[in-house]
């Protein structure tokens, strides 16, 4: 209860109680008058009654004062009634002397005036006192309101700060704008800033300025409320989003004022942006992962949410608005609809998650496979209110799975095929763990070893030959340590106890981390191969032995005829093999310039990739002395027939050549001898013999020297020394034979006829002319009849005939460059059984005009010829009862042949 109410409550009883005060004050005055009158004999009634009136007026107010006046008048009147001046019992109360009336009236007037004045005074004082109290109360109220205001302002400011909402007022007419603290904060300016529309526009983001200006303009001109959102470009470069709302008010003059609020919604905007972005991400991720989400309101029996992905999965465009539930359902494959509904109903009933796969049939007939997962949302009453879930487009996975299944089926089939292959191939196949112990053997392996699969694990080492087991285990662990493919050879026992050589090859299989998980291997029966290899090695060794004994070294050249390989024996020549490698024969030879024709032919043979035999050339040894080399080679080709080079042998024939030179001289002497035998006088002949016999002797000396050199070598080559010595003997015999024949001729002794095999005579001649043939690059072909009857003849003379014919043939082929020079010596029998010898060349041939003169003595077409050869030959042949003639030649060249009669006994 407030103070004024209390005062009111107190005032009412006081006014009622003031009337007794009036009575009491009059009574007190009467008593006082009585007392004073009696004691002082004065007449104080007027003044005392006045006092009573004053008291009544003061304490009771005007009403009680009137009552007091009335009572005072009565008392006064009574007092004045005789006996006056006393308040004793009086009978004539109503008798009032007229003289008393003025007194009474005066008293009444005075009393009334006093009463009025005092009560007025009292009222005024009272009113003053009341108004002072009211003022106090009002001031206190004011203070309370102010405090409340301050508090609420503080709350407001705090609320504004917390809600980031500032308030503003805008008087359009004056342009004055009032901001709250928060508004200043939002605009990031201090309180000294005077907010204006220009300032606001200037702080507005440039992109939003025009729009803001437009809205403010319209709102201010129309006096309408506005609500706008815009950005602020802050001095620090940041951007703030603000939302301003204002209500327009018009004052009495009609001018517009706005009161409004501005809220910093940057955080909300940012959150919204993030939300939107994450929504976009979600939508994108759903799109990419072919997923979508949905929510099914169980009570309303409808989807309350479907992500855009749901639309896409069902083949709808979410942009084209909502699609009725039934339309969605219609797209589900008819066979899957019931199952779908049942799965959902069961999940709701059992309050459990559900998973279901169904198909969607799109309008173009294509099928989509969807995997749907749902989760129930249960409220506090335990009731399922919603099912939320996802649809996952698993078409690709489904197709991939189908493909995978097909692939698996294929793999299974091919695995079966593979197993069939593995079990039927004639190779032992095995598999082992990383520690090397086999855990699989194919059928042939089990069959071969006689092991069962169970025994394989522990029994496999016993299947190896005892001599190979240790080495095999060591090699196998070495292969495993390298972790790479490897192989080994060992003998494996067959079920019947026989051991056969096998090649074991192992290949590791790695897991993704690179660890070996298995070893796969094969064991191939190489027993036959091994035996072949041994045989091959033996044969290789045999041929090497042949080659090495038939020659001094072996060599190989490449397609460019440069040496690629040469055996160390080449050292024998005194040339280091490495010096020769990379060089062609003609790079090493020193007779290329002196014998161009020989080398031209040799190179032609090379270019034609023809084999060559006994090609002799000169080179220089390390110490500068000439060496003679005999080389034979054969071209070799790859499987496609491409030429790869030559392989061949080489022999140091320096010693032989030296001996041959002597032999050649001897032979020349023989030839010359044959020429001059018949034409030179005996004396001249004898002198000539003395001279010519020196030649074989020189050969003897040369061979003897060669023999000594072979013996003087660090390791004496006895074989070659022996050969040289044999040649010495042969040369000596031949020389003495010449002398003996000449002697016989000189003595005119008969020819020394003996039974001869003409083939042997031919062979001897070939041996004698071999050097001549090769130095003239002439190849010799022999066509000797295998069993000829013997003839009776002089060996040396017949040799001279054949030598002459061969020499003529060689010389006739000298100009031939465009074809191989070939000489053919044939032996045989003519139709009458006579022994027949022919020498065919492919030389210049014989012209018809010369044909008749050839056998004439001294007919020659050669600058250095004597023209005696054929004439002597004819004489010798005829002396043997035979005939020498020219035959027609098929091709180019000439053929000379002679026939010899058979020995009489043979003829018989
Ligand atoms: P020479 O050989 O000293 O000339 P020959 O009596 O041996 O004496 O030969 C006589 C000639 O016969 C030769 O000069 C040569 O013209 C010719 N003649 C010999 N043999 C042949 C031959 N095989 N081919 C061609 N002409 C030959």
Give the CATH number of the domain where residue 878 resides: 3.30.565.10
For ligand 1, say whether the CB of 861 is within 6 Å of any of its atoms: yes
- The answer to whether residues 619 and 495 belong to one domain is no
Residue 92 CA to residue 77 CA, distance in Å, equals 11
Structural domain includes residue 408: no
Structural domain includes residue 480: yes
- The answer to whether residues 646 and 671 belong to one domain is no
Which ligand 1 atom is nearest residue 861's CA?
14
Q: Is the dihedral of CA 225, 230, 236, 238 positive or negative?
A: positive
Structural domain includes residue 537: no
- The answer to whether residues 294 and 259 belong to one domain is no
- The answer to whether residues 510 and 606 belong to one domain is no
- The answer to whether residues 787 and 876 belong to one domain is yes
Structural domain includes residue 773: yes
User: How many domains is the chain built from?
Assistant: 7
Q: Which of 621, 652, 683 is the last residue before a domain boundary?
A: 652
For ligand 1, say whether the CB of 820 is within 6 Å of any of its atoms: no
Decide: residue 541, CB within 10 A, 0-12 exposed, 13-18 middle, 19+ buried: exposed
In this structure, which residue's CA is closest to atom 13 in ligand 1?
A: 860
CA of 875 to the centre of ligand 1 (A): 15
- With vertex at residue 517, the alpha carbon angle to CA 513 and CA 520, rounded to the nearest 5 degrees, is 130
Q: Which of 295-309, 336-350, 655-669, 720-734 has the lowest mean pLDDT?
A: 655-669
- With vertex at residue 607, the alpha carbon angle to CA 606 and CA 609, rounded to the nearest 5 degrees, is 60
In this structure, which residue's CA is closest to atom 8 in ligand 1?
A: 867
Residue 672 predicted with pLDDT over 60: no
**pLDDT at position 573, please?**
64
Strands (E), 362-512: 367-378, 384-393, 428-432, 438-441, 486-493, 499-510
Residue 904 predicted with pLDDT over 80: no
Q: Which of 724, 749, 774 is the last residue before a domain boundary?
A: 749
Tokens of 824: 């053919």
CA of 470 to the centre of ligand 1 (A): 80
**pLDDT at position 803, please?**
85
- The answer to whether residues 628 and 666 belong to one domain is no
Q: Of 736, 656, 723, 740, give the one whose Cα is nearest residue 697.
A: 736
**pLDDT at position 679, please?**
44
Dihedrals φ, ψ of 165, to 5°? -120, 120
Summarised one tens digit per residue, pLDDT across range 206-216 is 999 999 999 99
CA of 537 to the centre of ligand 1 (A): 54
Summarised one tens digit per residue, pLDDT across range 466-523 is 999 999 999 999 999 999 999 999 999 999 999 999 999 999 999 989 899 999 999 9
Which of 33-37, 414-418, 523-527, 543-547 shows the highest mean pLDDT? Answer: 523-527
Residue 539 predicted with pLDDT over 80: yes
Structural domain includes residue 597: yes
- The answer to whether residues 257 and 281 belong to one domain is no
- Provide the percentage of residues in the chain whose pLDDT is more than 90: 36
For 660, the domain range is: 654-749
User: Which whole number is the average pLDDT over 787-806?
Assistant: 88
Query: CA-CA distances (angstroms) from residue 38 to 44, 85, 90, 147?
Result: 11, 9, 17, 68
Which ligand 1 atom is nearest residue 843's CA?
24
- The answer to whether residues 769 and 894 belong to one domain is yes
In this structure, which residue's CA is closest to atom 26 in ligand 1?
A: 846
- The answer to whether residues 367 and 333 belong to one domain is yes
CA of 99 to the centre of ligand 1 (A): 232
Summarised one tens digit per residue, pLDDT across range 824-880 is 999 999 988 899 999 999 999 998 888 888 888 778 888 877 777 888 788 889 888
Give the residue, 608 or 735, on which the prediction is more confident: 608
For ligand 1, say whether the CB of 866 is within 6 Å of any of its atoms: yes
Q: Which of 239, 264, 289 is the last residue before a domain boundary?
A: 264
The string of DSSP letters for 722-744 reads: HHHHHHHHHHHHHHHHHHHHHHH
Q: Per-residue confidence at 712, pLDDT binned at 50, 70, 90? A: confident
Q: Do residues 534 and 550 lie in contact, with contact meaning Cβ atoms separated by under 8 Å?
A: no
Instruction: Specify the CATH number for the domain of residue 223.
Output: 3.30.450.20
For ligand 1, say whether the CB of 856 is within 6 Å of any of its atoms: no
Q: Is the dihedral of CA 86, 91, 92, 93 positive or negative?
A: positive
CA of 377 to the centre of ligand 1 (A): 130
Q: Which of 85-99, 334-348, 633-647 has the lowest mean pLDDT?
A: 85-99
Q: Where are the alpha helices (DSSP H) in 3-99?
A: 3-40, 45-55, 62-80
- With vertex at residue 74, the alpha carbon angle to CA 69 and CA 76, rounded to the nearest 5 degrees, is 85
Give the residue, 104 or 6, on which the prediction is more confident: 104
Q: Do residues 728 and 700 lie in contact, with contact meaning Cβ atoms separated by under 8 Å?
A: yes
CA of 657 to the centre of ligand 1 (A): 29
- Partnered with residue 499 across adjacent β-strands are 493
Dihedrals φ, ψ of 647, to 5°? -125, 140
Q: Of 613, 632, 620, 631, give the one whose Cα is nearest residue 573.
A: 620
Give, for ligand 1, the residue of 672, 679, 854 to mutate: max count of ligand atoms closer than 8 Å to Cβ: 854
For ligand 1, say whether the CB of 842 is within 6 Å of any of its atoms: no
Q: Of 594, 431, 658, 460, give the one whose Cα is nearest residue 522.
A: 431
CA of 811 to the centre of ligand 1 (A): 9
Give, for ligand 1, the residue of 851, 860, 891, 893 to mutate: max count of ligand atoms closer than 8 Å to Cβ: 860
Which ligand 1 atom is nearest residue 860's CA?
14
Structural domain includes residue 143: no
Give, for ligand 1, the residue of 778, 870, 872 to mutate: max count of ligand atoms closer than 8 Å to Cβ: 870
Structural domain includes residue 140: no
For ligand 1, say whether the CB of 551 is within 6 Å of any of its atoms: no
- Average pLDDT of every residue of the chain: 85
- The answer to whether residues 9 and 96 belong to one domain is yes
Residue 888 predicted with pLDDT over 80: no
Q: Are strands 438-441 and 428-432 parallel, antiparallel or unpaired?
A: antiparallel
In eight-state DSSP terms, residue 57 is I
- Provide the percentage of residues in the chain whose pLDDT is more than 70: 90
In this structure, which residue's CA is closest to atom 21 in ligand 1?
A: 808
CA of 859 to the centre of ligand 1 (A): 8
Give the residue, 45 or 382, on which the prediction is more confident: 382
Residue 710 CA to residue 723 CA, distance in Å, equals 10
Q: Per-residue confidence at 741, pLDDT binned at 50, 70, 90? A: low
Give the residue, 63 or 487, on which the prediction is more confident: 487
Q: In sequence order, which residues have a C-beta less than 8 Å from that of residue 303 and are 6 or more positions away?
A: 294, 295, 296, 297, 325
- The answer to whether residues 908 and 770 belong to one domain is yes
Residue 186 CA to residue 160 CA, distance in Å, equals 11
Q: Do residues 894 and 900 lie in contact, with contact meaning Cβ atoms separated by under 8 Å?
A: no
- The answer to whether residues 775 and 887 belong to one domain is yes
Dihedrals φ, ψ of 638, to 5°? -85, -175
**pLDDT at position 41, please?**
72
Structural domain includes residue 369: yes
């Amino acid at each position: 209860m407030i103070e004024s109410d209390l005062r009111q409550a107190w005032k009412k009883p006081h006014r009622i109680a003031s009337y007794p005060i009036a009575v009491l004050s009059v009574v007190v005055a009467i008593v006082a008058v009585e007392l004073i009158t009696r004691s002082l004999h004065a007449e104080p009634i007027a003044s005392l009654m006045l006092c009573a009136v004053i008291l009544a007026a003061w304490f009771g107010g005007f009403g009680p004062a009137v009552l007091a006046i009335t009572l005072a008048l009565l008392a006064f009147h009574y007092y004045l009634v005789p006996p006056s001046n006393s308040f004793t019992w009086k009978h004539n109360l109503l008798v009032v002397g007229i003289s008393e009336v003025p007194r009474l009236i005066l008293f009444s007037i005075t009393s009334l005036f006093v009463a009025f004045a005092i009560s007025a005074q009292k009222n005024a004082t009272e009113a003053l006192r009341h108004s002072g109290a009211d003022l106090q109360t009002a001031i206190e109220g004011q203070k309370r309101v102010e405090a409340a205001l301050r508090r609420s302002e503080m709350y407001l400011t705090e609320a504004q700060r917390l809600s980031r909402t500032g308030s503003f007022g805008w008087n359009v007419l004056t342009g004055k704008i009032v901001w709250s603290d928060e508004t200043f904060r939002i605009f990031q300016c201090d309180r000294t800033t005077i907010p204006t529309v220009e300032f606001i526009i200037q702080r507005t983001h440039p992109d939003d300025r025009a729009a803001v200006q437009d809205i403010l303009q319209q709102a201010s001109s129309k006096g309408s409320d506005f609500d706008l959102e815009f950005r602020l470009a802050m001095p620090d470069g940041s951007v703030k989003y603000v939302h301003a709302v204002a209500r327009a008010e018009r004052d009495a003059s009609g001018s517009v004022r706005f009161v409004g609020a501005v809220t910093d919604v940057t955080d909300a905007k940012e959150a919204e942006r993030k939300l939107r972005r994450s929504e976009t991400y979600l939508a994108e991720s759903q799109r990419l992962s072919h997923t979508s989400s949905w929510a099914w309101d169980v009570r309303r029996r409808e989807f309350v949410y479907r992500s855009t992905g749901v639309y896409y999965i069902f083949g709808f465009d979410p942009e084209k608005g909502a699609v009725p539930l039934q339309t969605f359902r219609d797209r589900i494959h008819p066979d899957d609809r019931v199952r779908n509904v049942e799965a959902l109903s069961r999940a709701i009933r059992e309050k459990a998650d559900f998973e279901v796969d169904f198909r969607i049939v799109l309008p173009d007939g294509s099928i989509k496979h969807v995997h749907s997962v749902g989760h129930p949302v249960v409220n506090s009453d335990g009731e399922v209110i919603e099912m939320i879930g996802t649809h996952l487009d698993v078409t690709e996975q489904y197709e991939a799975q189908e493909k995978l299944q097909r692939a698996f089926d294929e793999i299974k089939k091919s695995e079966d095929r593979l197993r069939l292959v593995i079990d039927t191939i004639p190779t032992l196949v095995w598999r082992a763990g990383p520690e090397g112990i086999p855990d699989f053997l194919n059928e042939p392996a089990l069959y071969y070893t006689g092991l069962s699969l169970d025994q394989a694990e522990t029994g496999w080492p016993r299947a190896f030959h005892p001599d190979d087991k240790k080495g095999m285990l060591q090699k196998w662990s070495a292969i495993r340590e390298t972790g790479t493919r490897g192989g080994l050879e060992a003998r494996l026992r067959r079920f019947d106890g026989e051991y056969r050589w096998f090649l074991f090859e192992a290949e590791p299989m790695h897991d993704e981390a690179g660890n070996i998980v298995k070893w796969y291997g094969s064991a191939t029966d190489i027993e036959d191969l091994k035996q072949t290899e041994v045989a091959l090695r033996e044969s290789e060794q045999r041929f090497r032995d042949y080659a090495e004994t038939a020659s001094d070294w072996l060599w190989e050249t490449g397609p460019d005829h440069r040496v690629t390989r040469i055996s160390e024996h080449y050292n024998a020549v005194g040339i280091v093999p490495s010096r020769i490698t990379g060089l062609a024969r003609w790079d090493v030879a020193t007779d290329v310039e002196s014998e161009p024709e020989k080398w031209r032919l040799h190179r032609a043979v090379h270019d034609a990739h023809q084999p060559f035999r006994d090609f002799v050339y000169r080179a220089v040894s390390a110490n500068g002395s000439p060496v003679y080399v005999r080389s034979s080679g054969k071209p070799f080709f790859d499987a496609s027939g491409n030429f790869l080079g030559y392989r061949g042998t080489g022999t140091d024939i320096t010693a032989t050549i030296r001996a041959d030179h002597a032999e050649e001289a001897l032979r020349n002497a023989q030839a010359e001898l044959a020429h001059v035998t018949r034409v030179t006088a005996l004396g001249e002949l004898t002198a000539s013999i003395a001279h010519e016999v020196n030649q074989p002797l020189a050969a003897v000396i040369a061979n003897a020297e060669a023999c000594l050199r072979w013996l003087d070598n660090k390791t004496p080559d006895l074989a070659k020394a022996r050969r040289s010595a044999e040649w010495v003997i042969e040369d000596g015999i031949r020389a003495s034979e010449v002398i003996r024949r000449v002697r016989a001729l000189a003595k005119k002794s008969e020819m020394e006829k003996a039974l001869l095999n003409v083939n042997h005579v031919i062979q001897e001649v070939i041996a004698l002319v071999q050097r001549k043939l090769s130095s003239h690059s002439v190849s010799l072909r022999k066509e000797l009849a295998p069993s000829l009857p013997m003839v009776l003849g002089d060996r040396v003379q017949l040799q001279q005939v054949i030598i002459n014919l061969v020499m003529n043939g060689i010389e006739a082929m000298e100009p031939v460059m465009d074809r191989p020079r070939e000489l053919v010596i044939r032996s045989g029998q003519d139709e009458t059984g006579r022994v027949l010898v022919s020498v065919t060349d492919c030389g210049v041939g014989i012209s018809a005009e010369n044909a008749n003169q050839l056998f004439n003595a001294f007919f020659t077409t050669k600058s250095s010829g004597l023209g005696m050869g054929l004439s002597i030959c004819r004489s010798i042949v005829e002396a043997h009862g035979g005939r020498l003639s020219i035959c027609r030649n098929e091709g180019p060249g000439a053929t000379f042949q002679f026939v010899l009669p058979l020995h009489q006994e043979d003829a018989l």
